[in-house]
Structures are given as C-alpha cells and as structure tokens.
Amino acid sequence: MSRKEVIVLLGPPGAGKGTQAKELSQQYGFAHVSTGDVLREAVKQGTPLGKKAKPIMESGELVPDDLVAGIVSERVLSGGEGVTILDGFPRNLPQAEYLSGAAGDIPLFVINICLDEETVMKRLAGRRYCPNCGKIYNIFFSPPRQEGICDVCGSELAQRKDDREEVVAERLRVYRQQTQPVEDFYKGQGNYFEVDGAQEPEQVSKQMSTVIEQIQAN
Ligand code: AMP
C-alpha cells in the first residue's frame, strides 16, 4: 500500500502500544512514530524540547500540546507516501482535533488496545530493566532468578522514573481524565477498531493483523 495513511494506536500506558507498533512496522514496513520515544530521546540529548519535557514526564503529566503537535506535524504529516503508526498521540481532545484538522485528506484509522487498570499497574510498576545490557523484567510476570539482579550480566536492576507506583497512578488518572474522551471522539467517527490488550503479545499481534487487513481492504 503506497498511499499516505496514519494509524493511531490508542490505549492506556502499558497496553503494549510500543511493542505492537514495532511488530507492525516490521511485518508491514510501516513507519513508526512514538511521541513518548521522541521526547525521551530529546531528554537524553538535553535539547531545548527535552529540557522542557523532562520534569513533566517524570511527574506523569502531559507535555504541552504545541510541543507534541510539532513532533507529529514534522514526523508524521509531512513527507512522502506510506503508512505511519502514530503511538502516544493524541492524548487529549485538543490533540485529537488538531490531528483531524492537520491531517487534511490523509485517512486516519484508530486501533484502541484496551486494558484494565489493575493489569496496567502490575505491568508498569513491576517493570525493571538492566541499565547495563537493557534486558527487561517484571517482578510479577517475569522476575529475575535473584531479586534485583540481571540474569544475563549480574548488574543491579533499575526502575524507570515514570514507572514508580505513584507516577503510574498519576499516568492512569491523566489517561482516565484526558485520553478516554479521545476514544469516544473516534468511536463516533467510524474507522475505529478495538483489540483486547490483556492477551499474550502474540495473540494481540494476531488481532492487530486482522484489523490491518480490514483497513487495507478499505
Ligand atoms: P509514553 O511513552 O507514550 O507513555 O509517554 C511518556 C510521557 O511522554 C507521557 O507520560 C507524557 O509526559 C509524554 N507524552 C508522550 N506523548 C504525549 C502527548 N501526545 N501529549 C503530551 N505528552 C505526551
């Protein structure tokens, strides 16, 4: 498919949007833009955008709309043909309205990966990573053999600042208040699909592929 299209991935933090977006970009050759990844990279590089975003991201709040809209405009809406998976945007109604206006004739499809809050909390607050080799663990679902120590390289495991329980609770509150209305915004517009994010990643992928095939048949 060469025409320009945008597939928006919705879903709470921890629903697996990033994992699924990577899978789809490998399987179908789609471009993948994650606003969270772009912001994290900006923080790492210490750019002006990163300096503004860092304290906001660490508190679990949303970065101002104009900053993220700039990322979407540059990396998703400009440029040539092909499908882009947009992961992490829109997060509130003004962003959804911006996207509809700025996309113009570019068709938008929305896939919502649904997941309950209890599972979100376990997936995120339980997540640990190895700062040395990058391996990811979860203290509830896939713990290391020895508590707090990487199985692969023996380094001490760490937790992302925005995965701390109180920050996850705040991210969930922000999701409930600001992002859930975005689901209703799209539900009324057609081109909206839902996938059950509580399944194993392979099952979620299968359901995603079925949706993509429906979209491509359009
Ligand atoms: P994510 O990796 O998508 O969970 O994003 C991590 C953090 O980046 C969020 O908690 C927000 O602080 C910020 N962020 C990512 N996308 C957006 C967005 N569309 N609007 C505002 N803030 C965002």
Q: Which ligand 1 atom sits nearest the alpha carbon of residue 17?
A: 3
Cα→Cα distances 125→94, 117, 191, Å: 29, 12, 33
Centroid of ligand 1 to alpha carbon of 85 (angstroms): 15
Predicted TM-score (pTM) of the model is: 0.89
- List the pLDDT tens digit at each of the 218 positions of the chain: 468 999 999 999 999 999 999 999 999 999 999 999 999 999 999 999 999 999 999 888 999 999 999 999 998 998 778 999 999 999 999 999 999 999 999 999 999 999 999 999 999 999 999 999 999 999 999 999 999 999 999 999 999 988 999 999 999 999 999 999 999 999 978 799 999 999 988 999 999 999 999 988 87
Cis? peptide before 90, omega within 30° of 0? yes
Closest residue CA from atom 12 of ligand 1: 57
Q: What local confidence, expressed as pLDDT, does residue 2 receive?
A: 60
